[in-house]
Structure 1
C-alpha cells in the first residue's frame, strides 16, 4: 500500500500544478480581464504625467503635493471626479498586478520561453516585482480615494529612521539601495538599447521608439537617484533624505541649473507616462 501511495504522489502533485497552470491560462485568455490589465498601463501613464507636471511646477517655485506617485494620486483626488477615477484605477492596477503575478508563476503566453534557467528566473522575478509594485499602487489608489492617503516620502523617511536604529537594518538599507540602483540601471539599459521594443506587438514606429527611449532613460535616472539618496541618508544618518522620488527630484532642483534640470526630468517622466499609453494598446500580454 505504501508503494502505491508513493508512486501516485508525484502524479497528484503534477496534476495539481497542471490545474493551476490551466486555470491561469484561462484567466489570461479572458478578454475582459486583459482589458482591465491594459487599463493599468493607462493609469500608470496618468500617474507619471502628474508626477512630471508636479516636478515642473516645483521647478518654478510652485507648491503643493510631493513629486511622486502619492503626490500624483493626491493631485488627482483633489480634482472633480478624481475619487471615481482612483477607484477605477485601483481595479486596473489590481488587474495588472494579478496578470504579472500569474506571469511570475506560469510565464507569459505571448512571449517566447527563456532559453536558459538564469533568464527564466530573471523574467519570472521581474514579473513578480512588477506585480508587487502594481499592488502597492492599488492600495495607494484606494487610500486616496477614501481620503486617507499619506505621503510616500514621509513613510519612506520614517521606515528608514527605524531601520537605522540597528546594524542589521543599516546593512539592509544599503542592500536595498544597491538593488534600487540596479533597477534604475536596467531601465537605462533598456531605454538606451531600445530593448523595450521586444515587449510590444507588431511593428514599432519611430515615434514609439523615441518615446520609449527617452521615457525609460528618464525613469531609470530617477530610480537610480532614489537609490543614491538612500545610501547618502544611511551613511550620514539623515533619514529625511531617503524620501523617494520626491526627494530625488528636489535634490536635483537644488543643484546649479536646478530649474533646467528639474524641467528636463519632469518632461522625461511625462514622456514615460505617454509611452505607457502606447503600452496599453500594444504591450504583449
Structure 2
C-alpha cells in the first residue's frame, strides 16, 4: 500500500514536471501574460484619465476589470482576461514547485521559488476580481472592513501592518533597482533584446518597472502611515496611492507620467509574451 502510494506520488510529480516544461504550458504562460498586459494598459489609461480630471474610474486591477466590462463584448473580455490570469497562476505554481533548477545556489533558488508562489497569489487575486465583475457578485467595498483594519484589531496587529507596509516598500524599491540596472532584461529572449525593436522593448521595461516601483513605494508608505497612526483609512491600494499623487504639487503631471509608465509596463509584458525569457 505504501509502495503503491509512493509510486503514484512519483508519477504525479513526474507529470507535473513534464507539464512545467511542456509546449502547452509555454503557450499558456504567453496567453496569461497578454491578459496581464491588458490589465496594466487599462490601469495606465485610468491613471491618465484621472490626471485629466476624470474621477469615475478606479486606477487599480479591479478598476481595470470594471473598465473592460464597459467595453463592447465586455463580459467576454472579462472572462478571457480572468482565464489568462489563472493560467499565470498555474504557471507560477509549477515554477514554485519545479522551476529555477538552473540556479545552483540553494538559497537563491528557494527565494526565486517563493517569489513565484507570491506572484501566483497576486495573479489569483486579479483573476478573482475579474470573476466577481463578470458574475456581478462583487461589492463596491464601501462600508466593508479592510484587511488593515481587521489586522490592527488583533494583538500586535499594528506592528504586523507596519511590517507589511515596509515589505511592500522594499518590493517597490527593488522594482526601481531592477529598472535602472536592467535586471529585468532577461525576461525577454535574445531576439527580444536585439535591434531597434529590442531597444524599444527595454525602454518600455525601464519606464514600466520604474513606475511600478514608485507606485509600490507609495502604497507601502500609506500602509506604514496607517499603522503608525492606527488609522486603517490612511492606508490603501494602488488607486488610493495614485489619488495621493494627484493631490501633490504638479500632481496631474506626475500622475500622467506615472500612468504612462504603468502602461509601458503593459507594453513590456506584451513584448515578453512574444519573446518569453526567464
Mark yes or no: TM-score above 0.5.
yes
Match of 1:181 in 2: 169
Structure 1 residues 30 and 264: alpha-carbon distance in aligned structure 2, compared to 1, 3 A threshold: same
Task: Indicate the SS of the match to 1:195.
Answer: coil
User: 1:64 and 1:35 mapped to 2: Cα distance?
Assistant: 36
Q: 2:127 aligned with 1:138, yes or no?
A: yes
Structure 1 residues 252 and 133: alpha-carbon distance in aligned structure 2, compared to 1, 3 A threshold: same
How much has 1:54 moved relative to structure 2? Answer: 1.1
Match for 2:98 among 99, 106, 112? Answer: 106
Match for 2:237 among 234, 237, 244? Answer: 244
How much has 1:280 moved relative to structure 2? Answer: 0.8
Summarize deviations over 1:2-30 as a string: whole Å, max 9, x none. Answer: xxx9xx98x985x6664344212221344
How much has 1:120 moved relative to structure 2? Answer: 0.9
Q: 2:270 aligned with 1:282, yes or no?
A: no
Structure 1 residues 176 and 151: alpha-carbon distance in aligned structure 2, compared to 1, 3 A threshold: farther
Match of 2:199 in 1: 206
Q: 2:49 aligned with 1:61, yes or no?
A: no
Q: 2:249 aligned with 1:261, yes or no?
A: no
User: TM-score under structure 2 normalisation?
Assistant: 0.90
Structure 1 residues 194 and 237: alpha-carbon distance in aligned structure 2, compared to 1, 3 A threshold: same
Task: Indicate the SS of the match to 1:166.
Answer: coil
How much has 1:196 moved relative to structure 2? Answer: 1.1
Summarize deviations over 1:62-85 as a string: whole Å, max 9, x none. Answer: 121211101110111122211111
Task: Indicate the SS of the match to 2:277.
Answer: coil
Q: How does 1:17-96 map to 2 (within 5 A)?
A: 18-96=10-88
User: 1:23 and 1:228 mapped to 2: Cα distance?
Assistant: 43
Any unmatched runs of 5+ in structure 1?
none
Structure 1 residues 121 and 33: alpha-carbon distance in aligned structure 2, compared to 1, 3 A threshold: closer
User: 1:38 and 1:78 mapped to 2: Cα distance?
Assistant: 25
Match for 1:117 among 106, 111, 124? Answer: 106
What is the RMSD computed on CA atoms of the aligned residues? 2.3
The count of corresponding residues between Structure 1 and Structure 2 is: 273
Larger Rg: 1
Tell whether the 8 Å contact from 1:191 to 1:212 is kept in structure 2 after alignment. Answer: yes
User: TM-score under structure 1 normalisation?
Assistant: 0.88
Structure 1 residues 152 and 22: alpha-carbon distance in aligned structure 2, compared to 1, 3 A threshold: farther
User: 2:203 and 2:141 mapped to 1: Cα distance?
Assistant: 30
User: 2:103 and 2:121 mapped to 1: Cα distance?
Assistant: 22
Q: How does 1:146-161 map to 2 (within 5 A)?
A: 146-150=135-139, 158-161=146-149
User: 1:119 and 1:18 mapped to 2: Cα distance?
Assistant: 26
User: 1:149 and 1:180 mapped to 2: Cα distance?
Assistant: 25
Any unmatched runs of 5+ in structure 2?
none
User: 2:84 and 2:157 mapped to 1: Cα distance?
Assistant: 34
Structure 1 residues 20 and 284: alpha-carbon distance in aligned structure 2, compared to 1, 3 A threshold: farther
